[in-house]
A and B are shown apart, each in its own frame.
Chain A
Amino acid sequence: MLLALAAVPVLIAVAVRLSSSPPEPGRGPPFLDRVTQNGLFVSITALVVCIPLFLPLTVGVVAGDTIAGEANLGTLRYLLVVPAGRVRLLLVKFAGAAAFCLAATLTVVASGALIGAALFPVGPVTLLSGDTISVGESILRSLLVAGYVTVSLLGLSAIGLFISTLTVVPVGAMAATIVLSVVAQVLGALPQFEWLHPWLFSHYWLDFADLLRQPIAWTSFGDNALLQAGYAAVFGALAYGRFVTKDILS
Chain B
Amino acid sequence: MTRVYLRWVPAAVVTAVITAGALAVPLQAGASVDLPDKTPQEVLELIGDSTKDSLSGTIEQTSNLGLPDLSAGGSAGGSAGGDEAASALELLTGDHTARVYVDGHDKKRVQVMDRMAERDLIINGYDVWLWDSKENTATHVAVPPHDKGDFPKPGDTPTPAELAEKFLEAVDPATEVTVDDDTEVAGRTAYDLVLTPRSSEDTLVGSVSIAVDSETGLPLRVQVTAQGETEPAFLLEFTELSLETPDADIFEFEPPPGATVKEKELPEHPSKDGKTDGDHDDFPGEVSGSGWDTVIELPAGSAPAELTESPMFAQATEAVDEGAVLSTTLLNILITDDGRVYVGSVPVERLQSAAAGG
Contact = CB atoms under 8 A, between A and B. Distances in A.
A241 B11 contact: yes
Interface string B253-266: 11111111000000
Given A130-B120, A234-B14, A25 B7 contact: no
B4 A126 contact: no
B18 A131 contact: no
Contacts of B89: none
A33 B118 contact: no
A129 B120 contact: yes
A132 B99 CA distance: 19
Interface in B76-135: 78, 80-81, 99, 111, 113, 115-118, 120, 129, 131, 133-135
Contacts of A244: 7
Contact of A130 (B10, B113, B259): B259
A52 interface: no
A196 interface: no
Contacts of B116: 30-31, 48, 128, 206, 209
Contacts of A31: 116
B135 A26 contact: yes
Given A26-B78, A26-B135, A48-B116, A34 B18 contact: no
Interface string A224-239: 0000001001101110
B136 A34 contact: yes
A19 interface: no
Contacts of A206: 115-116
Contacts of A128: 116-118, 133
B69 interface: yes
Contacts of B117: 30, 128, 209
A127 B136 CA distance: 11
A102 to B, nearest CB: 23
A230 B15 CA distance: 9
Given A26-B80, A210-B113, A132 B11 contact: no
Contacts of B136: 25, 33-34
A230 B256 CA distance: 40
B149 to A, nearest CB: 24
A69 B10 CA distance: 25
Contact of B259 (A126, A129, A210, A215): A126
A217 B58 CA distance: 10
Contacts, number: 97
A33 B135 CA distance: 9
A207 B256 contact: no
**Interface size range of chain B in the complex:** 35 or more
Contact of A245 (B4, B15, B69, B256): B4
Interface in B233-277: 247, 250, 253-260
Interface string A177-213: 0000000000000010000000000000011011001
A190 to B, nearest CB: 11
Interface string A158-189: 00000000000000000000000000000000
Contact of B131 (A24, A30, A129, A215): A129
Contact of A37 (B7, B14, B58, B258): B258
Contacts of A26: 78, 80-81, 134-135
Interface string A73-102: 000000000000000000000000000000
A213 B135 CA distance: 16
B11 A238 contact: yes
A229 to B, nearest CB: 10
A204 to B, nearest CB: 11
B7 A237 contact: no
B10 to A, nearest CB: 4
B4 to A, nearest CB: 5
Nearest to B18: A230
A27 B118 contact: no
B90 to A, nearest CB: 14
Interface centre among B120, B133, B258 (most CB of A within 10 A): B133
A130 B250 contact: no
A123 interface: yes
Interface centre among A34, A130, A234 (most CB of B within 10 A): A130
Contacts of A33: 136
Interface in B23-65: 58
Contact of B113 (A27, A217, A234): A217
17 contacts: A25-B137, A26-B135, A30-B134, A34-B258, A37-B258, A124-B257, A128-B116, A129-B118, A130-B120, A130-B256, A130-B259, A213-B113, A215-B247, A215-B250, A217-B99, A217-B113, A244-B7
Given A27-B78, A130-B255, A234-B18, 19 more contacts: A25-B134, A26-B78, A31-B116, A48-B116, A123-B257, A129-B111, A130-B138, A130-B253, A132-B256, A213-B113, A213-B118, A215-B247, A215-B250, A217-B99, A217-B113, A233-B14, A234-B14, A240-B10, A245-B7
Interface of B: 4, 7-11, 13-15, 18, 58, 69, 72, 78, 80-81, 99, 111, 113, 115-118, 120, 129, 131, 133-138, 247, 250, 253-260
Q: Which 8 pairs from chain A and chain B are nearest by CB?
A: A126-B256, A241-B8, A130-B131, A237-B11, A30-B116, A128-B118, A37-B258, A241-B11
